[in-house]
Amino acid sequence: MSMQMTPRMLAIFSKSKIRQNAIKNGWRSGLEEAIASDLKAKRVHYEYEAHTLEYFVPSRTAKYTPDFYITTKSKKIIIIESKGRFLTAERQKMIRVKAQHPDLDIRFVFSRSATTISKKSKTTYGNWATKHGFPYADKLIPESWINE
């Protein structure tokens, strides 16, 4: 007996294949791989998970490794964090990192900024980023950021 794959099943299968391929190639997600590929095609200098930053969590010191450090055309450094899922603990971490490193320009690239932070909330990832002063984009890094 053969089973027909629904469009949803195909989408899930495709996403997992994209992620598996990305991981095989040294990335943590398909989104990170897509961003890197786009930057490479645009000949933008970047570093991937090359640095760690210390930040303090009540009662302990923790480390955060940003996804991308991008050098813009004016030689400004922008930190890009790519997010598909953006869990509560990660949101709290980013608020702490920003408060403890106010000199850094940290921005987000979401898979979909219109995703709500939980089933019970109307707040989207984009709303959250705006509220906390993080510039954000969907899917890829905007040319305007690179051209700064």
Segment 59-81 shows an average pLDDT of 93
Please name the amino acid found at residue 136: Y
CA 29 to chain CA centroid, nearest Å: 10
Name the residue with higher pLDDT: 116 or 2. Answer: 116
1 has a pLDDT exceeding 50: no
Residue 68 host element (H or E): strand 68-71
Bridge partners (DSSP) listed for residue 79: 69, 106
Segment 110-128 shows an average pLDDT of 95
What is the Cα–Cα distance from 47 to 29, expressed in whole angstroms? 16
Name the residue with higher pLDDT: 128 or 10. Answer: 128
27 has a pLDDT exceeding 90: no
pLDDT score for 10: 46
Give this prediction's pTM. 0.69
15 has a pLDDT exceeding 60: no
pLDDT score for 139: 93
pLDDT score for 26: 74
What is the Cα–Cα distance from 48 to 51, expressed in whole angstroms? 8
